[in-house]
Structure 1
């Protein structure tokens, strides 16, 4: 087992200079069916998505400890005894303490807080790393490499029912970024590090947005007007459209299902109409990345549908790329717990 872990880790060697947060084992493709192993600095997360390796759980933990000398190992069982997926997975600290499960990781020029015991997700989705890094590069190209992190004024959340003019936000000069379903705001951190003048985050969870603010602080970024909005993405997009706000880059990375104030978001039903509405607040020569981990989407048809939705507003839009998970997700798409479709459109 140690040799399998060593071989799997060596496959990820191209990432070692980029980040210390990556997936070491991605299930059967790495010789560990039904199981994943993620590294977050010197913290390691083992997840069981099937029963295949459960009987060797102790052996596996010992092998990870011996091979990597971690500060902490957290084990999560993502399936019930009936074999059904669990979102509120049982968690066990197999090595270390509760305090050891918390720390920071590096990703390119950015740093992020992680907590392996907070929820199923530690605070950073590893399979979108390559897109986050590209977002930073794109804003750096827009600004000629000028990093703009100077203080403006204390950030204030925008309320969709707020009748005040958006002048404080609109008067900020420089390229703007919109991060919908923002989670802990990692895309926005990269955008700001690349030189975005403002990076707006929309998420239904105030707790999650607070974690985003912590990530801004960790990277020396001030909070600017309009950067944190607690509410659903559609609510914000319609508000922004009404106010005449425009963005030079948009990322739309929704969960498959979400619920907020009686509205049930279903990615199959609501994603493409939302893409069309987002396109209305995208500046010419801007970019728009749309992704989903819904396992029923096929990459080619997904990219085509996104392009058609954007072209309903920007006739000359084109697909810059379409792809799946980053290189540490070996065998991506072969199982429901390792799937992603993503496409980037330029207008």
Structure 2
């Protein structure tokens, strides 16, 4: 199924099992047990869970051997990331996003091959710890990496160093996504590609964010700074918004005429145990 990635297809990451509201994942050398609200079926490999190095429970936080709770590195598609347990139960990357990296790099290279020789500009909003930023930069794009969390931007810069991309043309920006896009419009800047992974809810200073309310305006603002035939990668995992909703929002905001240019797929991971973990949707608009 398009969008579904088996963990063992990506060296460095493996979804071992999922079920009973949890997921068991191997990130490099660490076996991690953490919540997964969409894992509603029973576990298929119950014996494997006993080997977890670390476990996260919202009520108590992370537990496990002290050494296993220290930061560690993992390499995915040739990019090296630093992972570490966060207070929200994350580790610093979304493995379901790895399936989009080849498409992203292909868009950058294809547009560069048909362009006028100028370096492509890609805008990554809600950019987190930089996986898509690094993939686009490695493919040859100049990237504006925007996230409202200062710690996330610092983490992404560390990942660039680990991936030998410290000198890549990346602008590291701690900013509100809508505010940044509005300023870029006033400056007359244009982008050849956009990557967006907006949260369901968020806050930047006094500004509150709710995806269902804000997404159409954000996409319309991005269209205002988009070069002709810009590509877009939109991912989201918001309850109440499915792939059709995201597709329609992107279709209308970017006035898409070619239906074939829009691709919608579930973000799914297939465990080695046979379990399936649903993690939202991805919509791709090819340039």
If the length of structure 2 is used for normalisation, what is the TM-score? 0.84
- The structure whose residues are more often strand, as a share, is 2
SS of the residue 1:325 aligns to: strand
Separation (CA, whole Å) in 1 of partners of 2:16 and 2:224: 40
Q: Tell me, yes or no, if the aligned pair for 2:80 and 2:162 is still in contact at 8 Å.
A: yes
Identify the match of residue 8 of structure 2 among 8, 12, 16: 16
Higher alpha-carbon Rg: 1
Name the Cα RMSD after superposition. 2.9
Identify the match of residue 26 of structure 1 among 18, 22, 26: 18
Separation (CA, whole Å) in 2 of partners of 1:270 and 1:195: 31
Counterpart for residue 75 of structure 1: 55
Separation (CA, whole Å) in 1 of partners of 2:73 and 2:85: 11
Identify the match of residue 22 of structure 2 among 35, 38, 54: 35
Counterpart for residue 233 of structure 1: 177
Does 2:37 correspond to 1:92?
Answer: no
| Cα distance change, pair 207–189 in 1 and its aligned pair in 2 (3 A) | same
Aligned residue pairs, count: 274
Separation (CA, whole Å) in 1 of partners of 2:36 and 2:282: 23
Q: Tell me, yes or no, if the aligned pair for 1:47 and 1:76 is still in contact at 8 Å.
A: yes
Separation (CA, whole Å) in 1 of partners of 2:179 and 2:252: 22
**Consecutive unaligned residues in structure 1, runs of 5 or more:** 1-10, 28-32, 67-71, 81-88, 145-171, 333-337
Q: Tell me, yes or no, if the aligned pair for 2:24 and 2:32 is still in contact at 8 Å.
A: yes
Separation (CA, whole Å) in 2 of partners of 1:141 and 1:319: 14
Counterpart for residue 175 of structure 1: 120
Following superposition, the deviation at residue 100 of structure 1 comes to 5.6
Once the two structures are superposed, the pairs formed by residues 267-346 of structure 1 within 5 Å of their partners are: 267-311=211-255, 319-328=261-270, 330-332=275-277, 338-346=278-286
- TM superposition outliers: structure 1 runs of 4+ over 6 Å: none
Flag the structure with more relative contact order, 1 or 2, with Cα contacts below 8 A and sequence separation at least 6: 2
**Consecutive unaligned residues in structure 2, runs of 5 or more:** none
Following superposition, the deviation at residue 116 of structure 1 comes to 2.8
If the length of structure 1 is used for normalisation, what is the TM-score? 0.71
Once the two structures are superposed, the pairs formed by residues 164-203 of structure 1 within 5 Å of their partners are: 173-196=118-141, 198-203=142-147
| Cα distance change, pair 318–272 in 1 and its aligned pair in 2 (3 A) | farther
List per-residue Cα deviations over 1:81-120 (Å, max 9, x = no partner).
Answer: xxxxxxxx62111xx4336642111111211111135642
